[in-house]
Structure 1
């Protein structure tokens, strides 16, 4: 890893933000995670760097043979899980210990319940591990490969997405206790912070929604491309999604989005990343294949009225591989050419 800039200001241009730090890693980034004071970046070849969020200094590293698909820091940033085509690995902050688990099983994602438990996809099952890598329990096999995971009820229920359904499993219960069916391939899960809604982004260019209380369903269709990125803001009212040149933002207030139109955020020819700013201000960061990062007042305006970004940040051409907020005032962008750039963002009420 080489440091290319520290505590410098971006080139003067409209919408420029101060760059807190910038580094280059020796693997093309594919996933990014930020929690508390740490940032983790995973590369396509399986190299994972753990960085100090304030300065970008390397605090730890590990490698997952076979490459990486996702990286997730635990809620207090004391643990890290990295998953990939050949399995998963856990890293511990206290001493840098690495435990490799589930070797040979395709692992698309991981989700931390708390500092002591993480669920990882393992082929057609989901395996729940303790912080030492010991297996606590696993789900019975689904009909196809598990593609995404999410926790509900403060870590007491695990939602598991695979072709044809999202299954809910209670702790230590291999068979599902609830099933949310949808005939299609689920690519991403998003559970609202209120846990009122479960949403899946799908291969068939749709978003499917279930109300957890009664299992009632709703489908948002008409996207041009598969929906592979979904994220609720901290309030649980707003859902951002890709699947089109525009990012769509749906309003889940009241009875939900049925019969409504989304807000459209138009900047990128192809969306490659999105991340809500912590808090309730409705600020969203998005990234594109052209290397631009845009900052939005994403909940302003009216449905069906395209918004324009509050700021556009030029990433010098390389596609944005990931975006993550290291607290409310620092936005970290990873680019496919190996660069990581941390932008200082003004107060929560401003962009």
Structure 2
């Protein structure tokens, strides 16, 4: 792994090359975790990019997730999952033979891990606390809501919610189709799924009222709310669509369209409420947007673009000022952005 640094203009704060093709990253506190496709997870210092390999998961990696306090890391892959502990460097891998698509932390001491048709809830040492009943198919995404008091699990046919210690679902939000990604508003008002059938399905949690946004030309596999829980960004087309969930929600409204890419590979909201979004493309373009400006049906252009020569595979923010970008050729770069009020 090699590192370079720079401090000029819209600078590259650091530039690291890892010995693999990154497929995902996670940034929390003073750390950045990077998942390599082959089998390796790296943990880097967010300020300098220095770091090391911390975990190997036979069969490859799909996702990494740092706990909010940056004291623990979960990694998932096609054959199982692994955990790393910061204070002593302890790493464990658990080969279940089940597809583990993702993991999500509830605070620093409890993590939900998708494992085949079930979701396992583990403590930070990897001990199983409980597990959901088997779903109809492989679990594709998990997310905590209500400050970690409720767990949402997506699999074919429904999103099911469990109280933090409840094996059986206490709420079920049905939709006949394959859910590829979950996004839950920070307010807890909305659960959204991006779907194989080129749609976004929305449930209002207080009463289960449903809405489907269909007509996307491609499957919707990336969607994410901003910190306010008001704005939802999604792929599913060359344009990024941004939906307004203020008031009564997006029913009867049109999204803003962000036009720059041919194939969207990553989306990440800047922390805070300014409405700044970063998006990545397989041609190496990173676009930065005032994504909530204009009116519904507006077609927006990026505030600025960063052009690189390797496909963008993942984006994340380390605080409001550092945008972390991973590229297919193994490079991981931290771009220093202007103040949170500007792009």
Query: Could you tell me the TM-score, scaled by structure 1's length?
Result: 0.96
Rounded Cα–Cα distance in structure 2 between residues aligned with 1:60 and 1:26:
10
For 1:190, the equivalent position in structure 2 comes to 183
| TM superposition shift of 1:171 | 2.5
Q: Deviation string for 1:80-130 (max 9, x for gaps)?
A: 000000000000111110122252111001010111100000100000000
Residues 40 and 53 in structure 2, CA contact (< 8 A), matched pair in contact too: no
For 2:316, the equivalent position in structure 1 comes to 324
Q: Deviation string for 1:158-185 (max 9, x for gaps)?
A: 1000000000112232211110000000
**4+ residue stretches of structure 1 with deviation over 3 A?**
none
Tell me if 1:266 matches 2:259. yes
Tell me if 1:199 matches 2:198. no
Rounded Cα–Cα distance in structure 2 between residues aligned with 1:35 and 1:46:
21
Q: Could you tell me which of 80, 89, 104 is aligned with 1:87?
A: 80
Give 3-state SS (helix, strand or coil) of 1:7's partner: coil
Rounded Cα–Cα distance in structure 1 between residues aligned with 2:63 and 2:307:
25
Q: Could you tell me which of 12, 22, 26 is aligned with 1:19?
A: 12
Residues 60 and 96 in structure 1, CA contact (< 8 A), matched pair in contact too: no
For 1:348, the equivalent position in structure 2 comes to 340
For 1:13, the equivalent position in structure 2 comes to none
For 1:235, the equivalent position in structure 2 comes to 228
Tell me if 1:47 matches 2:51. no
| TM superposition shift of 1:339 | 0.5
Pick which of 180-189 and 60-69 moved more: 60-69
Rounded Cα–Cα distance in structure 1 between residues aligned with 2:336 and 2:216:
33
For 1:12, the equivalent position in structure 2 comes to none
Residues 91 and 99 in structure 1, CA contact (< 8 A), matched pair in contact too: yes
CA RMSD of aligned residues (A): 1.0
Q: What is the correspondence of 1:100-179 to structure 2 with a 5 Å cutoff? A: 100-179=93-172
The answer for unaligned runs of 5 or more in structure 2 is: none
Rounded Cα–Cα distance in structure 1 between residues aligned with 2:76 and 2:267:
20
Pick which of 100-109 and 319-328 moved more: 100-109
* Count of residues in correspondence between the two structures: 343
Rounded Cα–Cα distance in structure 2 between residues aligned with 1:38 and 1:7:
19
Query: Could you tell me the TM-score, scaled by structure 2's length?
Result: 0.98
Q: Could you tell me which of 296, 316, 335 is aligned with 2:327?
A: 335
| TM superposition shift of 1:210 | 0.2
The answer for unaligned runs of 5 or more in structure 1 is: 10-15
| TM superposition shift of 1:147 | 0.3
Give 3-state SS (helix, strand or coil) of 2:301's partner: coil
For 2:2, the equivalent position in structure 1 comes to 2
Rounded Cα–Cα distance in structure 2 between residues aligned with 1:348 and 1:17:
13
Residues 150 and 158 in structure 1, CA contact (< 8 A), matched pair in contact too: yes
Rounded Cα–Cα distance in structure 1 between residues aligned with 2:32 and 2:286:
18
Residues 281 and 312 in structure 2, CA contact (< 8 A), matched pair in contact too: yes
Tell me if 1:222 matches 2:221. no
For 1:250, the equivalent position in structure 2 comes to 243
